[in-house]
Chain A
Amino acid sequence: MPGATELNRVAPRRREGSPWVGLWAVVAKEMADHLTSVRMYILEALIVLTAVGTVYGAMQNLQESVGQDPFLLLRLFTVGRDPLPAFVGFLGFLVPLIAIALAFDSINGEFNRRTMSRVLAQPIYRDALLLGKFLGGLFTLALVLTAIWLLIIGLGLVGMGVPPSGEEVSRSLLFLIATIFYGGIWLAVGMVFSVVFRQPASAALAAIALWLFSIVFWGVLASLIARTVLPIEYGSAEEIIAQAELELALSRISPNTLYTEVMLALLQPTLRSVGLVLPIQLQGALLGSPLPVDQSLLIIWPQLTGLIAATIVLFAVAYVLFQRQEIRA
């Protein structure tokens, strides 16, 4: 080896090799861990139960309208039956819950088990470990959600005997993708907290607190801020519109709002807008007639990109924090 040693005397100025060496080994390990963990079994059971329960309820409600409704498949997701809300209503909080459960101990768990230094002593970069963990979680989430999606479509086929149209399939497929990215945001949130906190319990609690804040309190806060910043003094239409628009813009900071809007536009083809609509804008519109899927997609394009961008930004935050972290416990 003396020859080889001599050759390497002059170190390159850049860091050698790809940052993604070993990425797929980490992804495979993470997915195997997730899919065999008790935590995941519980969540899977919960979501299957929800899906079967709500779809059964929806089918009972829809039985009368079979043949009249052109979007029967989509109704399976959106129609509820007392006392159960619709499946999409459940998804709004089940998906963040699963995502947080997958991620809250991803980094601090390695420190606590004292496996971090052993894994990082292998010829991989930290980049691969973090992205591998994120992708492992995202793929697991995608797998579970896709399975549920297929289950619901299957139940619909068997229960109602009406084959879905191409339009319905593409809409529900887009809905599935949006749901996966919505999960991605919470996965990244869980990951950020798992880097920040050494105790998994603190990380889980912080992530759940943030989630509760975004679904319960942020809406209230947004309207409060809007009313304080742009108070209605003269009661003019401009004032009212400006205040309402500010409130809407603020509420869209919460990923929950973005996801709800995406979901509504995709699953309700008749929806024309997710924002404020003035009567003048509706001139010439055939109200109640469905939009083609690409037009619906156009309406929620900003929301959809917002969901994906938020996922990337949060992952970047986790990445920067993790790169700066000292390895010694």
Chain B
Amino acid sequence: MDELMIEAHGLTKRYGDFTAVDGLDLAVRRGEIYGLLGPNGSGKTTTILMLLGLTEPTAGSVRVVGFDPVRQPLSVKSRAGYMPDEVGFYDELTAAENLAYIARLNGIPQAEADRRIDAALARVGLSEVADKRVGTFSRGMRQRLGVADVLIKQPQLIIMDEPTQGLDPEGAREFLEIIRGLSHEGITILLSSHLLYQVQATCDRVGLFHRGRKVLEGSVSELARQVLGGAYRVSVQARGPAEAIETALRKVPGAVTVTRRGEDRFELQATDDLRAEAAEAVVKAGGRLLSLAVEVPSLDDIYTRYFQEVGHAGSN
């Protein structure tokens, strides 16, 4: 299980004076869904292109599915599927014909290719439009055809660049469902995105990119602890002596910050789920507890907070 599907050390790409990717270390384990996160221009796509041998790294070493993409690009590309940002197809060909071309480029024999094409189209729910020209397809259908396209070579690793960009919420949900399904089949998935909610719901681990560097890495709750200090946010609604309640909440062990959100509302940031302790504190302080809720922070909060801090640090 601990076999590394992607292994990069000090990976760097410079375009003239501009450093697109700066000393990246990356390790993605077999079977994982790994998310590359970051604003546009933070080096996500460049990293992906280097992983596939489509761009040569300026420095550093990289191994994908056990091969060096610079020297052994064919071995890498026959085992790793790539779905580019805004995947394009030959509009004048049908869905099946587009996939047949890819199968031929992969050197798959005709009979086997036909079988795989049927299976891949069925997998993404496009069997009925197999013989329709791709020019008539909607964005969501193209995106799903992109997945079918990647599946033709039966990859061990799939790399997707902004796969859900431009999809409507329903389309994105269906799409992420497909991704999770592939992961269950044992395929390792690396996806880049700036749509945080989706990444959070799908990825096992994420790496946060900023100006060509990977600044944070871990599961969403680990990141929350690192960036926000507290991974849990407990909302308390209580009537009574507000000052006393606030002081009591601050004294709860494990509480990081307490914020007044209104007349009778308090927000407690904590490293753990402190609902029981908070309830006890409110009651002891003479308050009447009206409601209590815990919220796991979203990647959105982490992201916003992180870049706020980076912004402050930069302006100081």
Residues on A lying within 8 angstroms of B by beta carbon are 1-2, 4-5, 8-9, 11-17, 21-22, 25-26, 28-29, 33, 113-125, 326-328
> What residue of chain A has the Cβ atom nearest to residue B45's Cβ?
A328
Asked whether A123 lies within 8 Å of B74 as measured between CB atoms, the reply is yes
| Interface pair B86/A25, CB less than 8 Å apart | no
Separation of A299 and B54 alpha carbons in the complex (Å): 48
Q: Which residues of A contact B91 (CB under 8 A)?
A: 113
List, in ascending order, chain B residues with CB within 8 A of A114's CB: 84, 86-88
The 10 A-B residue pairs with the shortest CB-CB distance in the complex, in nearest-first order: A114-B88, A5-B66, A121-B82, A25-B104, A123-B78, A11-B68, A122-B105, A117-B84, A123-B77, A123-B74
CB proximity of B189 to chain A, nearest CB, Å: 15
Count of inter-chain pairs, beta carbons less than 8 A: 105
In the complex the two chains form, what is the Cα distance from A274 to B40 in whole Å? 62
With known contacts A4-B66, A5-B66, A328-B49, A121–B71 Cβ distance under 8 A? no
Q: Which of B55, B65, B82, B149 contacts A326 (CB 8 A)?
A: B55
Check if B105 sits within 8 Å of A16, measured CB to CB.
Answer: no
What secondary structure prevails in chain B residues at the interface with A? loop
A128 to B, closest residue via Cβ: B105
CB distance from A50 to the nearest CB of B (A): 27
B71: which of A15, A25, A120 is its contact (CB, 8 Å)? A15
**How distant is B154 from chain A, measured CB to nearest CB, in Å?**
13
- Kindly identify, within residues 43 to 79 of chain B, every residue whose CB is under 8 Å from any CB belonging to chain A: 45-46, 49, 52, 54-55, 65-68, 70-75, 77-78
Q: Indicate if the CB atoms of A21 and B75 lie closer than 8 Å.
A: no
Alpha-carbon distance between A103 and B67 when the two chains are bound, in angstroms: 35
Given A11-B72, A326-B55, A327-B55; 4 other pairs, CB 8 A cutoff: A13-B71, A33-B92, A115-B90, A122-B77
**Is B81 interfacial (CB-CB < 8 Å)?**
yes
Q: How far is the CA of A259 from the CA of B91 in the complex (A)?
A: 38
Question: CA–CA, A4 to B66, complex, Å?
Answer: 8
Q: Are B54 and A121 in contact (CB under 8 A)?
A: yes
**Other-chain residue from B67, B73, B78, B86 in contact with A8 (beta carbon distance below 8 A):** B67
CB distance from A140 to the nearest CB of B (A): 16
Q: A12-B71, A15-B71 are in contact. Are A118 and B46 (CB under 8 A)?
A: no
- Report the bound CA distance from A9 to B72 in whole Å: 11
Q: Assess whether B46 is in contact with A121, with CB atoms less than 8 Å apart.
A: no
Within 8 A of A (CB), among B102-125: 102, 104-107
C-alpha spacing A113/B146, complex, angstroms:
14
- Smallest beta-carbon distance B156→chain A, Å: 8
- Using CB atoms, name the residue of chain B closest to A17: B74
Q: Given the known A-B contacts A12-B72, A122-B77, are A327 and B49 also in contact in the complex, defined by CB atoms under 8 Å?
A: yes
Contact (A25, B101) CB under 8 Å given A16-B71, A17-B74: yes
How many positions in chain B have a CB within 8 Å of any CB in the partner chain? 40
Provide the residues of chain A in CB contact with B77, threshold 8 Å: 121-124
| Distance in angstroms between the alpha carbons of A12 and B66 in the assembled complex | 13
Is B131 on the interface with A (CB-CB < 8 A)? Answer: no
* 6 contacting pairs across A/B (C-beta < 8 A): A8-B66, A21-B74, A22-B105, A122-B106, A124-B77, A328-B45
Decide yes or no whether B3 CB sits under 8 A from chain A. yes
A118-B72 contact, Cβ under 8 Å, with A328-B46, A328-B49: no
Q: How far is the CA of A5 from the CA of B67 in the complex (A)?
A: 8
Cβ–Cβ contact B66 & A117, under 8 A = no
Q: Is B89 an interface residue when CB atoms closer than 8 A count as contact?
A: yes
Are A118 and B54 touching (Cβ within 8 A)?
Answer: no
Chain A residues with CB under 8 A of B107: 21-22, 123
| CA distance in complex: A328, B46 (Å) | 8
Question: Is the pair A118, B71 in contact by a Cβ cutoff of 8 Å?
Answer: no
List the B side residues contacting A123 at CB < 8 Å: 73-75, 77-78, 105-107, 153
Q: Which residues of A contact B46 (CB under 8 A)?
A: 328
Determine if A16 and B72 form an interchain contact, defined as CB atoms under 8 angstroms apart.
yes
The reply to whether B105 and A117 form a contact with Cβ atoms under 8 Å apart is: no
Shortest C-beta distance, B105 to chain A (Å), equals 4
Residue of A nearest to B83 (CB): A118
Which residues on the B side are within 8 Å of A16 (C-beta)? 71-75
Which parts of B1-52 form the interface with A (CB within 8 Å)? 3, 45-46, 49, 52
In the complex, what distance in Å separates the CA atom of A100 from the CA atom of B196? 47
Q: Given the complex, which residues of A lie within 8 Å of B92, measured CB to CB?
A: 33
Contact with A along B200-214 (1 / 0, CB 8 A): 000000000000000
Q: State A125–B77 Cα separation when bound (angstroms).
A: 10
Which of chain B's residues 227-258 have a Cβ closer than 8 Å to chain A?
Answer: none
A117 cross-chain contacts in B, Cβ below 8 A: 49, 54, 82, 84
Which A residues touch B102, using CB under 8 A? 118-119, 122
Specify which chain A residues have a CB less than 8 angstroms from the CB of B74 in the assembled complex: 16-17, 21, 123-125
CB-CB under 8 A from B90, the residues of chain A are: 33, 113, 115
Which residues does chain B contribute within 8 Å of A25, judged by CB atoms? 101, 104-105
The reply to whether A118 and B67 contact each other, CB–CB distance below 8 Å, is: no
In angstroms, how far is the closest chain A Cβ from the Cβ of B231? Answer: 35
CA distance A15 to B72 in the complex (A): 6
Query: Could you tell me the distance in whole angstroms from the C-beta of B66 to the nearest C-beta in chain A?
Result: 3
Q: What residues of chain A lie closer than 8 Å to B88, measured between beta carbons? A: 113-116, 118
CB of A323 to closest CB in B, whole Å: 11
The answer on a CB contact under 8 Å between A120 and B54 is yes
Q: How far is the CB of B50 from chain A (nearest CB, A)?
A: 11
B103 vs chain A, min Cβ distance (A): 9
Contact of B105 among A4, A8, A12, A119 (CB under 8 A): A119
Q: Which residues of A are found within 8 Å of B106, using beta-carbon distances? A: 122-123
Q: Assess whether B3 is in contact with A121, with CB atoms less than 8 Å apart.
A: no
Residues of chain A within 8 A (CB-CB) of B82 are: 117-118, 121
Beta-carbon nearest neighbor of B86 in chain A:
A114
By the criterion CB–CB under 8 Å, are A115 and B89 in contact? yes
